Amino acid sequence: MTTIKIAYLYEDLMNTYGDCGDVKIIRYLLQKKGYDCQVVNISLEDDLPAFDFDFIFFGGGQDFEQSVVAQDIQRHRSILQQYLEAGGPMLCICGGYQFLGSYYQTSSGQTIKCLDLLPLHTVFNPDKRMIGDTRYQTEFGEVKAFENHSGQTFFDDPNKLKPFGKMLQGYGNNPNDGIEGMQYKNVIGSYSHGPLLKNLNVAQALTQRIITWHQRSVKVPSV
């Protein structure tokens, strides 16, 4: 049986609102298609050989957990940039999504340096808690989920990024833009908990991306 490997970034720190459910759903769908599935927690001080994996997942966390992760994750910036630019599939939820950008400004006004992989940034607004059920339209169809965040995310280069969805109900990235999340190549960033992949239209599309990436990146032994 072929094994597909999933890297779960900081599972022990970044798992707000049960984001681990997304990984469980992907693993289930892969197993239904006949694949074995190995999930590896990449946490503090661990190495990240990104190209050894077929999918990278990064969940959400509170300000304290994000500040801890911020001190460790810069070690992985170069390999993550290579992975996403090569088309490696990633799903980043809430705090994980925010870490793809240049910085996150906390409730205390502290600026947390993020990975600066994509042109976006996030600012905490204590006066505007964005919480509740959400509905939005994506290229995979309608999505229903749940959001709970005060971080407002903005694109710095809308020509490079495209929204994951257009809002029908709820806030999404921020109260003004009417969009939810982000897509870049095979990377999806989203504020959707619930988990997001209870929406099987998205889960099945992402599963196929993972399988396609796995088939492309299988190393052929030298003769």
Whether the CB-CB separation of 31 and 37 falls below 8 Å is answered with yes
Phi and psi at 219, nearest 5°, equal -80, 125
Q: How far apart are CA 30 and CA 34, in angstroms?
A: 7
Exactly one of 76, 121, 149, 193 is catalytic; name it.
193
Please give the Cα distance from 28 to 19 (Å, whole number): 15
Helix (H, G, I), strand (E, B) or coil at 109: coil
Residue 58: other Cβ atoms inside 10 A: 30
Exactly one of 37, 76, 92, 94 is catalytic; which is it? 94
> Would residue 94 show up in a list of annotated catalytic residues for this protein?
yes
Indicate if the alpha-carbon torsion angle 174, 70, 106, 102 is positive or negative. Answer: negative
Angle between helices 200-217 and 20-32 (to 10 degrees): 70
193 labelled catalytic: yes
Distance of CA 133 to the CA centre of its chain: 19
Q: Look at the alpha carbons of 15, 21, 26, 31 in this order and tell me if their dihedral is positive or negative.
A: positive
Cα(136)–Cα(164) distance, rounded to whole angstroms?
9
| 3-state SS class at 202 | helix
Tell me the catalytic residues.
94, 193
